[in-house]
Structure 1
Amino acid sequence: MDHSVHTSGWKAFWDRGGWWRAVLLAALYMACYLGGGLVVGAVGGDQIVAEDIFRTPQSVFFGLTLPLIIGSAVLAAFVFSVGWFKPLFAPQPVKGSWWMWAAPFFLVAAIVLRFLGINYGSYQASVVVVTLLTGLLVGFAEEILTRGIVVKMLRDSGKSEWVVMVLSSLVFALLHSANALSGMPIFTVLVTVGFTFGFGICMYLTMRVTGNLIWPIILHALYDPTLFLSTGGIDQAAAGPQSPLVSLAAPANMIYILIAVIALIVVRGRAKREPLAVPAMS
């Protein structure tokens, strides 16, 4: 009886891992996400309030939620097709160091301060609910892709954890360069890319020290909506008066960058590679 593992050519291709496959997949995801956004804009664009996307629940749903539903469905279908759900959510193969706890600590601190400092009276209750639910999709899609799929593919190709951390965070940061397509000023886009690179490193550290991908997904799912609602926009500074609690959370951005710089200096290690499945000979 043949006990060889039967592997499709599709799965075998992605199982080889490597940085260029990771970048290719990220590019394909962005094409699906942006393409889905164009379709949504054509169908429900009149529901989106461009100057204030958080004015109505319909604006949030068509402007943010529905494109993320499409992107999340594409990623979930891919992960299912290659059988990676179990390995992606398995315990981390490389343990984290004690200092890495700084990343989730300051992430949680900023989330709590912003959550308590949001001016809920300036939003419809349904806008808050839809935005918080949208955060779940942000956390799932961006973390599954960058801290899940990309990290796995880089580790499968034998890359060191420093390279895994840097390249996965770079892919995460470059995803946000797509904001330029919506008319965001180039300087703001560059600042956003720089910040998200540091933020991505903190998410990588969170995954390492907590031992599972689920925790960066949860923190990311809470971080983005509380940031959006506390500032009144996406990837922008708050305009006008704001709660002292929100102001207290503002330095968190620089703290993330500092943690990222430390990580770039001290992160070491390499995950143990799993043997590739070999297609059975007929």
Structure 2
Amino acid sequence: MRVTPRVWMGLAIWAAYVVIIVVVTLLSGVPFPDIGTSADSTWRGAVMDLAVGAAFLIIVASILGWWRPALFERHRSHHKWPIFVPIIMALAAVLNLVNTDWSQFDTSFLLSLIALGVLVGFSEEMMARGLVLTAFRARLGEGWVWFLTSALFGLMHLVNAVLGAPLGSSIAQAALAFASGTAFYILRRVTGSLIWAMVLHGLWDVSVFAVGHAPLGAPLGAFLGPVVGVLSLATVYWVIKGTDEKVTPAREPVHA
């Protein structure tokens, strides 16, 4: 790493990312409730801000030299069985996709959903459970790293109220984001890579937007969301136990 991680750096990255998302979304002129209702609203209201956020995170990770610790664990979790929780989440996403009336989506709409999935999976995971997690591991125990990264991930969703979403639903979404963020954290710890969490995160968001816009019937996958959250909180201890993922200081240049 070029720069030694510090807790304040993680907080700064989180704050800067949230500001970018809010400002670009406000400039788009698309109210939050309209995002995902058409190709245009999805491109302007979600894809654009995530693309700018992704560019910011790529630049930061490259300048700091944090790519490896952000994307990969030094040691995988000793307990592998908690992976059943993100597996249930993946099945719930598939149920959402199966219960979606895809005839209501034209090519542009489908492409916007794919772009949304790729960018939200990369950006939100790289921010919360990538760079912020790396910064927090410099000084904090892993239990605090899990809790604070998940809490900041949930808190980030409160800004939806600023973008036009009802405050009550924004608070509920923030709570669910804390729990789903825990599922993504479990997936990172068990597999040893953030990449799988990025894939699951993108798949989940696409499925929620798709079934929300054109449901064929009862969105069965949505009912499993709270279940996944409860199971995540009940099992996360087992992927934290025995963890030794504290980052090492950046090496000083050697002079002859």
Q: Does 2:192 match 1:211?
A: yes
Runs of 4+ residues deviating >3 angstroms: 48-56, 263-267, 272-275, 278-282
Amino acid at match of 1:16: P
Q: Does 2:7 match 1:35?
A: no
**Quick one: structure 1 residues 96 and 258, their matched pair in 2 at CA, closer, same or farther if it must change by over 3 Å?**
farther
Q: Does 2:10 match 1:16?
A: no
1:100 deviates by 1.3
TM-score normalised by the chain length of structure 2: 0.89
Higher mean Cα deviation, 83-92 or 70-79?
83-92
* Structure ID, larger Rg: 1
1:79 deviates by 0.5
Map residues 197-276 of structure 1 onto 2, 5 A cutoff: 197-232=178-213, 242-244=216-218, 246-247=219-220, 249-263=221-235, 266=238, 267-276=240-249
Higher mean Cα deviation, 113-122 or 95-104?
95-104
Number of the residue aligned with 1:68: 50
Map residues 1-282 of structure 1 onto 2, 5 A cutoff: 12=3, 15-18=4-7, 20-39=8-27, 41=28, 45=29, 48=30, 52-157=34-139, 159-232=140-213, 242-244=216-218, 246-247=219-220, 249-263=221-235, 266=238, 267-280=240-253
1:94 deviates by 4.1
Amino acid at match of 1:126: S
CA distance in 2, matches of 1:221, 1:212: 15
CA shift digits 1:59-89 (9 cap, x unpaired): 2111111111111101111001111123322
Which structure 1 residue ranges, 5 or more long, are not aligned?
Answer: 1-6, 233-237
CA distance in 1, matches of 2:226, 2:92: 12
TM-score normalised by the chain length of structure 1: 0.81
- C-alpha root-mean-square deviation of aligned residues, in Å? 2.4
CA distance in 2, matches of 1:264, 1:98: 11
**Quick one: structure 1 residues 53 and 280, their matched pair in 2 at CA, closer, same or farther if it must change by over 3 Å?**
closer
Which structure 2 residue ranges, 5 or more long, are not aligned?
Answer: none
**Quick one: structure 1 residues 49 and 173, their matched pair in 2 at CA, closer, same or farther if it must change by over 3 Å?**
closer
User: 1:98, 1:209 within 8 Å by CA — same for their partners in 2?
Assistant: yes
CA distance in 2, matches of 1:188, 1:49: 15
CA shift digits 1:194-231 (9 cap, x unpaired): 11100010100011111111000011111101111101
User: 1:56, 1:124 within 8 Å by CA — same for their partners in 2?
Assistant: no
CA distance in 2, matches of 1:23, 1:51: 28
Amino acid at match of 1:99: W
CA shift digits 1:65-124 (9 cap, x unpaired): 111111110111100111112332234434251331122211110111111111112232
1:134 deviates by 1.2
1:265 deviates by 5.1
CA distance in 2, matches of 1:272, 1:52: 41
**Quick one: structure 1 residues 218 and 96, their matched pair in 2 at CA, closer, same or farther if it must change by over 3 Å?**
farther
User: 2:161, 2:170 within 8 Å by CA — same for their partners in 1?
Assistant: yes
**Quick one: structure 1 residues 273 and 182, their matched pair in 2 at CA, closer, same or farther if it must change by over 3 Å?**
closer
Q: How many residues align?
A: 254
Identity score, percent? 25
**Quick one: structure 1 residues 242 and 156, their matched pair in 2 at CA, closer, same or farther if it must change by over 3 Å?**
same
